[in-house]
Amino acid sequence: MAGAVRNISKISRLLSSSPSTQQLGDLQRCFLRCMSTGKFENILVEKRGEKKNVGLIQLNRPKALNALCDALMKELGTALDEFENDPEVGCVVLTGSEKAFAAGADIKEMQGLTFSQTFGGGFLNHWNRLASNKKPVIAAVNGFALGGGCEVAMMCDIIYAGEKAKFGQPEILLGTIPGAGGTQRLPRAIGKSKAMEMALTGDMINAADAEKAGLVSKVFPPGELVDAAVKTAEKIASHSKLIVAMCKESVNTSYELTLNEGMHFEKRIFHATFATKDRKEGMTAFVEKRPANFTDE
């Protein structure tokens, strides 16, 4: 509620003046944030890009450094569902604050749980909603991405980081282990030795080392990070959403299959693109030397 009040106050100030083009953009973002705040308590949701074809989700628990409580993860799933069903949105950007992408799972929620409660209740199972998203998701990571925060970033398809970002799996320091992919996705991203070192020591790595290890695609100044992620998302969203989803599925499948099986799968998906209107349009536009007009069919 406090966030909504602040946004309404800012809207009022802008309207009382003669807003410039930039201020009008700020006004629109404030309005969207105000609407989002009324619907969600732990995240902010809006559309970005010139064509409003990028969904932006910002984790918004600043006092808890965006600790991933159950309510936040459920809201994240709801927002992803809405963007998944929005025909205008072709890519999603997930971010936090400049101080923390997400400092981890909410320890206060987990502290009193028992084995029977976690095992019988399928604790953390619904977190995988992010990894199963058909539309690509770019994580824009500023500040801390620790424990569950690092795992959530790894569920995304691309990770961009701010120069001051820190990644880590410190669960070992709490007498437990990663439970949302830290022991599985991290070795696939950076190799066994480095992943084992991070998981067994609880030590963090910085953005430069994360990029060097292959966990992060690119590193940007903190203030430029989200805009850079949105720019990449706009480029992805300009392509056929159908073909993008097929390409994403093929890349993800490479982690589950042998090379021979993966090549077979890729070939079948490649063949399947020839049944789509967008494949024909893309190749025809190339031959005719004009921009393609994809219809997601």
Query: Active-site residues: which are they?
Result: 105, 148, 151, 171
DSSP-assigned letters across all residues of 240-270:
-HHHHHHHHHHHHHTTTS-HHHHHHHHHHHH
* Residue 104: strand, helix, or coil: coil
Q: Which residues of 11-24 are buried (b: 16+ CB within 10 A; e: fewer)?
A: beebeeeeeeeeee
Q: Which amino acid is at 44?
A: L
Closest listed residue to residue 132, CA positions, set 168, 89, 181, 88: 181
Q: How many CB atoms lie within 10 A of CB 119?
A: 9
Helices (H), the chain: 2-15, 21-39, 70-84, 107-110, 115-120, 148-155, 185-190, 192-201, 207-213, 225-237, 241-253, 259-273, 277-287
Asked if 74 contacts 120 with a C-beta cutoff of 8 angstroms, the reply is no
Both structure tokens of 220? 């940007």
